Copies of this chain bind each other. A is one copy, B any other.
Amino acid sequence: MKNLVSMKDLSVEQILAILKQAQAFREGAVSTLKNKYTMANLFFEPSTRTKMSFEMAERKLQLEVLPFDAGFSSTLKGETLYDTVKVLESIGLDALVIRHEQNNYFNELVGKVRPAIINGGDGTGNHPTQSLLDIFTIWQEFGGLKDKIVTIVGDIAHSRVARSNADALTRLGAKIHFVCPREWQAEFETTNSFDDVIEVSDVLMMLRVQHERHDGSISFSKEEYHQSYGLTLERESRMKEGSIIMHPAPFNRDVEIANELVECERSRIFKQMENGVYIRMAVIEMILKGRE
């Protein structure tokens, strides 16, 4: 593994190797990298959790991390992403985490630049470390993915997570249901009826209503969304024993999930964030080792 831009790059064996290494880091394993590496995190879109999670993972691996301020960089002078990355290559960076609003931005980079590219999210496309931390959280909970029923609820069309997760979860043996309003259907088969699948799901993965990506095209209010597609207290009461609630966050309380459920017993929302640090440590270490 020389880069990580999409879940499609990863075989089932590689995914399982990442999960095992993440678990080892979670239990206290330390980095076995032999050299001193320098990274930077290029976030061209706002982010708290993904950026901070990478920052933490990099420091736990004892890497040098250079600050990069996208809002104050030469991209303001019209420099292309390729040229910016070439600059960072020249300066000596070994790996770059990039979040960018353009789908598949990495196609102009991978194979053309020396630093490893780790995709921190591209437009509405991929977000592989988020998928991996979701998979890790389910794997920890049930000891595996085989035959687990995962229901993904919400804005399928605009969600990086849904797309990155769909393929990988299936390859690992899980069964996926998608629930979403008619307006947000994607290329997957979806249902509009949340209530049909609640009682059979092992995992309810609630997606964020991304107000900032919509343009007044939504025909329902927050309250209506909550009633039709949100995880209400009533719906939670019908979830099956041992089933869990996930959300990639940031969440809108009382829109996709009832306020009281964010930190309820079934919720793994904050555990997902914990897991993100270990998954990112595993991914970065494997990529840097693959280059040693």
B-binding residues in A (CB < 8 A): 38, 40, 43, 46-49, 52-53, 55-56, 59, 64, 66-79, 83-84, 86-93, 211-212, 249-252, 270-271, 273-274, 276-277
Q: List 18 A-B contacts (CB under 8 A).
A: A40-B52, A46-B72, A46-B77, A47-B73, A47-B74, A48-B68, A48-B84, A49-B74, A52-B68, A53-B91, A56-B92, A56-B93, A70-B72, A77-B212, A78-B250, A87-B273, A90-B270, A92-B274
Determine the chain B residues whose CB is within 8 A of the CB of A40 once the complex forms.
Answer: 52
Given A53-B91, A67-B55, A91-B53, A79:B48 Cβ within 8 A:
yes
Task: Please measure, in the bound complex, the distance between the C-alpha atom of A77 and the C-alpha atom of B76, giving whole angstroms.
Answer: 22
A90–B274 CB distance below 8 A? yes
What is the distance, in angstroms, from A58's C-beta to the closest C-beta of chain B? 10
Given A48-B79, A52-B91, A43:B59 Cβ within 8 A:
no
A272 nearest CB neighbor, chain B only: B90
Determine the chain B residues whose CB is within 8 A of the CB of A72 once the complex forms.
Answer: 43, 46-47, 70-71
B56–A250 CB distance below 8 A? no
Task: Please measure, in the bound complex, the distance between the C-alpha atom of A261 and the C-alpha atom of B147, giving whole angstroms.
Answer: 55
Given A40-B52, A84-B48, A74:B250 Cβ within 8 A:
yes
Determine the chain B residues whose CB is within 8 A of the CB of A43 once the complex forms.
Answer: 72
Choose among B78, B89, B93, B271 the residue that contacts A252 (Cβ–Cβ < 8 A). B78
Task: Please measure, in the bound complex, the distance between the C-alpha atom of A167 and the C-alpha atom of B278, giving whole angstroms.
Answer: 46
Determine the chain B residues whose CB is within 8 A of the CB of A78 once the complex forms.
Answer: 211, 250, 252
A208 nearest CB neighbor, chain B only: B77
What is the distance, in angstroms, from A82's C-beta to the closest C-beta of chain B? 10
B46–A273 CB distance below 8 A? no
What is the distance, in angstroms, from A101's C-beta to the closest C-beta of chain B? 13
What is the distance, in angstroms, from A136's C-beta to the closest C-beta of chain B? 14
Determine the chain B residues whose CB is within 8 A of the CB of A276 once the complex forms.
Answer: 91
Given A67-B67, A250-B74, A250-B77, A87:B48 Cβ within 8 A:
yes
